[in-house]
Amino acid sequence: MHKTEVDIPLSVRKRLTHLFGLIEKEFESICQENVILQEKVESLTEKVNEKLLTTEQFQINSKQKPPTGQKLKTAEKLKAQTSKIVSSFKNPSAVNCQFMKEYGGHRDGLWDVALPCTGQPVIGTCSADHTARIWCIETGTPLLQYTGHMGSINSIKFHPNKDLALTSSGDQTTHIWQAAVNLDNLRDRESDDTETEDDLVVPVLRTPSCTFSGHNGPVMASDWLFGGDQIITASWDRTANLYDVETSELLNSLTGHDEELTYTSSHNSQKLVVTASRDTTFRLWDFREAINSVSVFQGHTDTVTCAVFTSAGLGGEDKLVSGSDDRSIKVWELRNMRSPITTIRADSGVNRFAIASNGIIAIPQDNRQVTLYDMTGQRVTRIPRTARNGHRRMVTAVAWCEDNAFANLFSCGFDRLALGWSVQLCKD
C-alpha cells in the first residue's frame, strides 16, 4: 500500500509543543533533584570510606599479640583489603585541580570537545544543536560558529598541522571546514571598554570546504589519518569509510561489525585505525601495507564507546585503550593484544576519554563525574564538583591541552556546557 503523509494541523502542533515543553521542565526538575540526592549519597559514601579506612588501619597497627592460625589468615586478608583501599586513594595533596572557565552558548547537549595541534589557545566543541564552535580558552569568548550541517554534530577533530576542522553529523555526512580564527581582533575587542557582551557578534561559517557522503546512517565519529591526507568515518550503518581528502573519493568501506559503530580514531604516527561498536567489540585496521588487515578484539560485555591509541613512546610501547558502557577501561599492548594488561573499573558508563602524554587517563562518565587514572589502573583523583562548578548532566567527552598555562583539561556534557580545568600533578 502507498503511504501518504498526514499534515498535522497548526493548532495540534502548538498543543504538542506546549506539552513537550511541560515534559521537558518536569524532566529538568527531576534531574536537578537527582543531582542533589546523588551528591548527598557521594558525600556520605566518602565519609563511610574514610571511617572504614581509619578503623582498618587502627586494627592492623594496634599493638596485639602476633596472630596465629585462623587469626593470621584473617589479619593478612584485612591487611590486603586495607592496602587496596590505600592504593586506590592517592594523596589528594599530590594533585591540584581547579575550575578555570565555562564555555556556554550551545542550545543543546555537547557531544565532543577537541583542541588544535597548531598550538592556538582555542578549543572546539560540537553539539546536538547542529552547530560547532571555536572558543578562546582564557576568555571563554566564541570566535567562530559553524552551521553547515543539517543534523546533530557528533564529533570534531582538528587537522594535524592546518587550520581545518573535521566534523561528523546525524545528517549522514562529514565536513571539513576552515577553522582559522583571528585572535588579534579578539584582543582589540577586549580593549574596547564600550563593547558589552550583548554587542558580541560571533562570526558564522555556513559552507564546508569538503563534504564526504556515502553513509546510510548518522556518522558518529571521524578522524584524520597520519599525515592528514585521508580521513576515517564511523556510522550507525555498521560501516567505517576511508576517504581521500583532496578528491573526497571513497577509498574503502570497512565492514564486519554486527551493530552500529560508535567511535573511530587513528594512530598519530602510523596508518592504523580502530573502530568501536555496540556489538561489544573493537577492530584494529592496518593500512600500512598494500593488503589491508583487520583484527577483532572481544574484551567488553557492553557497547564499546571509545578506543584510542596512546602517544607514541609512552611507557616504551604503543598501547591501545578501550572504554565501554560496561563501566570498564582496558589497556592493551599493541604488539600483543591477546588480553588487556590493565583493567580499570569505573562507577558508571564510560564515554569519550583522553590520554595525556604522561599516561594519565581522563575518564568522563554517565554519572557527571570525570576521574583520572594512570596506565597501571591506579586512581589519581576525581575532578571536583560543586553546586556552582561541575557538570549537571552526563559528561560526554574530555580533551587534554598540555601546552596551555591557563587550563589543560576540558570536558563537555549534556548540560550544554564545556568546562576548562587546571590539573597539576605535584612533585614529591
Span 72-81, pLDDT tens digits? 444 444 444 4
Residue 375 has pLDDT above 50, yes or no: yes
Mark out the alpha helices in 96-223 (DSSP H runs).
183-191
Supply the DSSP symbol for 142: E
Q: Under 8 Å CB-to-CB from 250, ≥6 apart: which residues?
A: 212, 214, 241, 242, 243
Q: Pairing state of beta strands 204-205 and 142-146?
A: parallel
Q: What is the pLDDT of residue 343?
A: 97
Q: How many CA atoms lie within 13 A of 273 on its CB side?
A: 27
User: Quick one: pLDDT band at residue 315, thresholds 50, 70, 90?
Assistant: low
Q: What is the pLDDT of residue 232?
A: 98
- Coil/strand/helix, residue 216: coil
Does some domain include residue 31?
Answer: no
CB of 372 closer than 8 Å to CB of 362: yes
Q: How far apart are CA 26 and CA 45, in angstroms?
A: 28
Does some domain include residue 408?
Answer: yes
In terms of residue numbers, what domain contains 125? 95-182+201-425
Q: What is the pLDDT of residue 390?
A: 94
- If one counts the domains in the chain, the total is 1
Mean pLDDT score, 2-7: 52
Q: Pairing state of beta strands 370-373 and 361-364?
A: antiparallel
List, as own/partner pairs, every contact residues 227-233 make where C-beta atoms lie below 8 angstroms and the sequence separation is at least 24, other chains included.
227/160, 228/159, 228/160, 228/161, 228/162, 231/166, 231/174, 231/176, 232/264, 232/266, 232/273, 232/275, 233/168, 233/174, 233/264
Mean pLDDT score, 112-116: 97
C-alpha cell at 11: 493548532
Residue 149 has pLDDT above 60, yes or no: yes
CB of 402 closer than 8 Å to CB of 408: yes
Q: How far apart are CA 256 and CA 208, in angstroms?
A: 31
CATH of residue 340: 2.130.10.10
Q: What is the pLDDT of residue 250?
A: 97
Percentage of the chain beyond pLDDT 70 is 74
Query: What pTM did the predictor assign?
Result: 0.79
User: Quick one: pLDDT band at residue 170, thresholds 50, 70, 90?
Assistant: very high
Residue 71 has pLDDT above 50, yes or no: no
Does some domain include residue 72?
Answer: no
Residue 52 has pLDDT above 60, yes or no: no
Does some domain include residue 86?
Answer: no
Residue 102 has pLDDT above 60, yes or no: yes
CB of 314 closer than 8 Å to CB of 299: no
Does some domain include residue 237?
Answer: yes
User: Quick one: pLDDT band at residue 60, thresholds 50, 70, 90?
Assistant: very low
Span 386-410, pLDDT tens digits? 878 999 999 999 999 988 889 999 9
Residue 151 has pLDDT above 70, yes or no: yes
Does some domain include residue 396?
Answer: yes
Q: Which of 8-12, 185-189, 224-228 has the lowest mean pLDDT?
A: 185-189
Q: How far apart are CA 368 and CA 34, in angstroms?
A: 11
Q: What is the pLDDT of residue 82?
A: 40
Does some domain include residue 58?
Answer: no
Q: Radius of gyration over alpha carbons of the chain, in Å?
A: 24
Nearest Cα residue to 99 out of 324, 408, 328, 354: 408
Does some domain include residue 67?
Answer: no
Q: Which residue has the cell 582555542?
A: 122
Mean pLDDT, the chain, integer: 84
